[in-house]
């Protein structure tokens, strides 16, 4: 289904906010204000925006260390994410997790996982729980292309199909796993989609820089899973503009390759589509202005947050005997 006009503006808004937030995160990292590392999804915004807009508010998201974008797309306020990056007590995890370990149960984010592939098996558990409880909630788990060469990916796919789980695996194929091109270490061309038939799944490849294509593909898969039709594996073809993490300049990538993908930047591309369809320039400019202000506000509020108190060091470290997810 094509997005309504409201959804179209929402897709543009989400991508814009994510881009500006991550640009700010990079600047703060370069100023040595970020505690720990960062992995930015700059260039990959259309995947986060398109998939999240196809989800219901009570659906679940599992993401990776490259996950700021997925939280923002699902509506987590910017300040607690920014404050978490800066290691402040007003951060999502009270400043104890940092960029790679974001969790926001109130927006259905059941964690960001730094161990490649680990989230996929836990996502199966979340989907199984929804299936068992009969809630019609769908779980979406994001993964990188490199994760497709990890055993957990294959274990998760197999069991998701065997149990017909309401889980959607979205592989963001940005063509690199750290500093290695995925094609140099993978037997098939499409690292996720070409493996799907081995588990009885349809091979799905979508242009991950076309936000509406991502939205349509995700909506179809999520709707089917919600109705009991079982899991799907979506491969979104995309590219990260920057390096793998921190200040990595990404020089291991050929210049022409980077230039080719910059020309396919999902945000200006969608902006042009909306203008062609008759959207008012002023409306888009207003979205951009509001996004800039929101990122500025989040930065100020994060910087104003206190350093975590010493007594917090031992909280939320051990299970308390309960089974519920909590922040």
Ligand X SMILES: Cc1ncc(C[n+]2csc(CCOP(=O)(O)OP(=O)(O)O)c2C)c(N)n1
b/e 83-122 (16+ beta carbons within 10 angstroms → b): bbbbbbebbbbbbbbbbbbbbbeebbbbbbbbebbbbbbb
Nearer to ligand X, 62 or 176 (CB): 176
List the one residue from 91, 144, 166, 230 that touches Mg ion (CB under 5 A). Answer: 144
3-state secondary structure of 320: coil
- Name the minimum Å distance from CB 58 to Mg ion: 29
List the one residue from 62, 153, 159, 176 that touches ligand X (CB under 6 A). Answer: 176
- Name the minimum Å distance from CB 264 to Mg ion: 17
> By CB under 6 A, is residue 218 in contact with ligand X?
no
Q: Is the distance from CB of 7 to CB of 215 less than 8 angstroms?
A: yes
Partner from Mg ion, ligand X, none contacting 59, C-beta within 5 to 8 A by type: none
- Name the minimum Å distance from CB 302 to ligand X: 24
Residue 139, by phi and psi: left (phi above 0), alpha (psi -120 to 50) or beta? Answer: beta
Rounded to the nearest angstrom, the gap between the alpha carbon of residue 253 and the centroid of all alpha carbons in its chain is 23
Beta strands at 180-181 and 109-113: parallel, antiparallel or unpaired = unpaired
Rounded Cα distance between 71 and 62, Å, is 10
Binding segment (CB under 6 A) for ligand X, from list 52-60, 138-146, 247-255, 262-270: 138-146
Residue 230, by phi and psi: left (phi above 0), alpha (psi -120 to 50) or beta? Answer: left
Nearer to Mg ion, 22 or 59 (CB): 22
Rounded Cα distance between 136 and 48, Å, is 22
> By CB under 5 A, is residue 235 in contact with Mg ion?
no
DSSP state of 195: G
> By CB under 6 A, is residue 183 in contact with ligand X?
no
- Name the minimum Å distance from CB 44 to Mg ion: 9
Which residues, numbered 66-95, are part of the site for ligand X (CB under 6 A)? 66
Partner from Mg ion, ligand X, none contacting 115, C-beta within 5 to 8 A by type: ligand X
List the one residue from 140, 177, 201, 218 that touches ligand X (CB under 6 A). Answer: 177
> By CB under 6 A, is residue 144 in contact with ligand X?
yes
Nearer to ligand X, 10 or 172 (CB): 172
> By CB under 6 A, is residue 100 in contact with ligand X?
no
Q: How big is the chain by its Cα radius of gyration, in Å?
A: 19
Nearer to ligand X, 124 or 174 (CB): 174
CA distances, 86 to each of 18, 73, 301 (Å): 17, 20, 11
Q: What are the structure tokens assigned to 99, written together? A: 């960029």
> By CB under 6 A, is residue 114 in contact with ligand X?
yes
> By CB under 6 A, is residue 115 in contact with ligand X?
yes
- Name the minimum Å distance from CB 85 to ligand X: 17
List the one residue from 10, 84, 145, 265 that touches ligand X (CB under 6 A). Answer: 145
**CA pseudo-torsion sign 270, 272, 273, 277:** positive
Per-residue binding letters, 161-180, with Mg ion (x by CB under 5 A): -------------x--x---
List the one residue from 137, 174, 186, 299 that touches ligand X (CB under 6 A). Answer: 174
Of the candidates 64, 143, 139, the one whose C-alpha atom is nearest the C-alpha of residue 108 is 139
Residues at the interface with ligand X (CB under 6 A): 66, 114-116, 144-147, 174, 176-178, 244
């Amino acid at each position: 289904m094509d997005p309504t006009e409201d959804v179209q503006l929402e897709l543009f808004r989400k991508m814009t906010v994510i881009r500006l937030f991550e640009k700010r995160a990079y600047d703060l990292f370069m100023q040595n204000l970020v505690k720990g590392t960062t992995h930015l999804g700059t260039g990959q915004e259309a995947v986060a925006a398109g998939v999240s807009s196809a989800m219901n508010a009570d659906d679940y998201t599992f993401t990776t260390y490259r996950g700021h974008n997925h939280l923002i797309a699902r509506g987590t306020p910017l300040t607690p994410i920014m404050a978490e990056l800066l290691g402040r007590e007003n951060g999502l995890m009270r400043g104890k997790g940092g960029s790679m370990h974001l969790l926001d149960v109130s927006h259905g984010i059941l964690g960001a996982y730094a161990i490649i592939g680990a989230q996929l098996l836990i996502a199966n558990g979340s989907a199984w729980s929804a299936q068992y409880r009969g809630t019609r909630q769908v779980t979406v788990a994001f993964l990188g292309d490199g994760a497709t060469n990890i055993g957990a990916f294959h274990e998760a796919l197999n069991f998701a199909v065997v149990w017909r789980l309401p889980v959607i695996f979205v592989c963001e194929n940005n063509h690199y796993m750290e500093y290695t091109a995925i094609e140099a270490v993978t037997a098939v061309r499409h690292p996720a989609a070409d493996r799907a038939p081995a588990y009885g799944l349809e091979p799905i490849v979508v242009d991950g820089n076309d936000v509406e294509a991502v939205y349509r593909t995700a909506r179809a898969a999520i709707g089917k899973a919600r109705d009991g039709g079982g899991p799907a594996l979506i491969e979104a073809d995309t590219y990260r503009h920057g390096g793998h993490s921190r200040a990595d300049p990404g020089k291991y990538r050929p210049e022409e390759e980077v230039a080719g993908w910059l020309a396919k930047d999902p945000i200006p591309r969608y902006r042009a589509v909306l203008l062609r369809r008759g959207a008012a320039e002023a409306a888009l400019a207003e979205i951009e202005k509001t996004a800039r202000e929101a990122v500025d506000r989040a930065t100020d509020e994060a910087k104003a947050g206190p350093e975590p108190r010493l007594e917090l060091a031992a909280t939320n470290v051990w299970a308390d005997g309960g089974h519920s997810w909590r922040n």
